[in-house]
Structure 1
């Protein structure tokens, strides 16, 4: 019974990572001010790299960069598993 819940948890984690990976930086993230390139700071100001927003932007960019190939493999395995044992 425990493994059934664990399998659903794996599906949820993969779906969340897929959702992060497909966010378009040009179409969506830049429009809401979450693009990777920060806006030009005013005179005498520096970029804030310690805020939650900047850390979230870096996390999204990292997931999109690092998880591209593994997500293809993981999604393929899940699709084949569902087709065979579905």
Structure 2
């Protein structure tokens, strides 16, 4: 049973690491998922869209899925950066020592 929890922990750690390393200017801005309200429009690509607080299909004042995902990505990138470094070091040392 502990192997199952270890696997779930490793998968969630990899997922959070993946979110933490997303670059807002290179990746997220191309699909219109930036936290800034005004974006510069690139003439080569038409992917830059303004950040809409309401989200898709949301009524006035209701927060949509897209805005929640943007906020989650931003929070993980901001709050989890230092703890992820420590957790990753501990997991690497554990894997090296105990395999």
TM-score bracket relative to the smaller structure: 0.7 to 0.9
Partners of 1:78 and 1:47 lie apart in 2 by: 37
**Aligned residues between the structures:** 80
Q: Which has the higher contact order (CA 8 A, sep 6+)?
A: 1
Deviation sequence 1:27-85 (CA, Å, 0-9, x none): 00001100111358xxxxx8426110011000000000010110000000000001111
Write out the 4+ residue segments of structure 1 that deviate beyond 3 Å after TM superposition. Answer: none
Determine the structure 2 residue equivalent to 1:72: 85
Q: Give 5+ residue unaligned stretches, structure 1.
A: 41-45
| TM-score, reference length from structure 2 | 0.75
Structure 2: 5+ residue stretches without partners:
40-51, 56-62
Query: Between Structure 1 and Structure 2, which shows a larger proportion of helix residues?
Result: 1
CA-atom RMSD, angstroms? Answer: 1.6
